[in-house]
Structure 1
Amino acid sequence: MPKTLKDIKHVLDSNLGKRLTLKANGGRRKTIERSGVLAETYPAVFVIELDQEENSFERVSYSYADILTETVQLTFFDETSGSMALSGQ
């Protein structure tokens, strides 16, 4: 798992356009699981376009600090090598 915000942003930049599964802390012992594509990265946040069959809204954004504090866990799927986890594993 990357140790700094800069490292996290660099890893996400290299995975733009890849499919992923998102696990996020929803509060009150609730975990949210969604799937989609990493669409964009900005200096402080990243944007995920969600699959429309499963979700009522199109996009979500999180900060790099959410990954650092393990509030958000991303698992990227790569067709050639299987899946790889970014954080929390």
Structure 2
Amino acid sequence: MASADTLRKIRKDIESHVGERVRLRANRGRKKTFEKEGVLEQVYPNIFIVKVIESPEFVRRISYSYSDILTDTVELTILDDEEPNLKCNSL
């Protein structure tokens, strides 16, 4: 099954970047997009979690599935200290 293999590759790619800074861009429908920077906090069999610090008092944890990346609903860019170096949705 090609899509299961693709999802597995996406998961392994994301899993190798746990703890790193990421830029998250999500399509919320009706021309609305959500864009935040955070830390890739956790990877599970079906979802991954990004911790976004909105302010010192407010921390948000957002979860998405690997199929969201496959369908281009979510774009996850791994950031280094200088520039983005990996776009996970370009697998």
Q: Shorter-chain-normalised TM-score: which range?
A: 0.7 to 0.9
Which residue number corresponds to residue 45 of structure 2?
Answer: 43
TM-score normalized with structure 1 length? 0.84
Maintained 8 Å contact 2:51/2:59: no
**Identity of counterpart residues, as a percentage?**
40
Maintained 8 Å contact 1:19/1:38: yes
Structure 2 unaligned blocks of 5 or more: none
Structure 1 unaligned blocks of 5 or more: none
Figure out how many residues of one structure are paired with residues of the other and give that number.
85
Counterpart of 1:50, as a letter, is V
Which residue number corresponds to residue 23 of structure 1?
Answer: 25
Richer in helix (by share) = 2
- Deviation digits for residues 34-80 of structure 1 (CA, Å, limit 9, x no counterpart): 11000000000000000222xx651000000000001000111123x
For 1:82 and 1:15, the matched residues in 2 are separated by 15
Question: Using a 3 Å threshold, how does the CA distance of structure 1 residues 68 and 15 change in structure 2: closer, same or farther?
Answer: same
Counterpart of 1:72, as a letter, is V
RMSD of the TM alignment (CA)?
2.2
- Deviation digits for residues 8-43 of structure 1 (CA, Å, limit 9, x no counterpart): 000011000000111001111111101100000000
Structure showing greater Rg = 2
Maintained 8 Å contact 1:75/1:86: yes
Match of 2:13 among 11, 24, 41: 11
Which residue number corresponds to residue 84 of structure 2?
Answer: 83
Segments of 4+ moved more than 6 angstroms: none
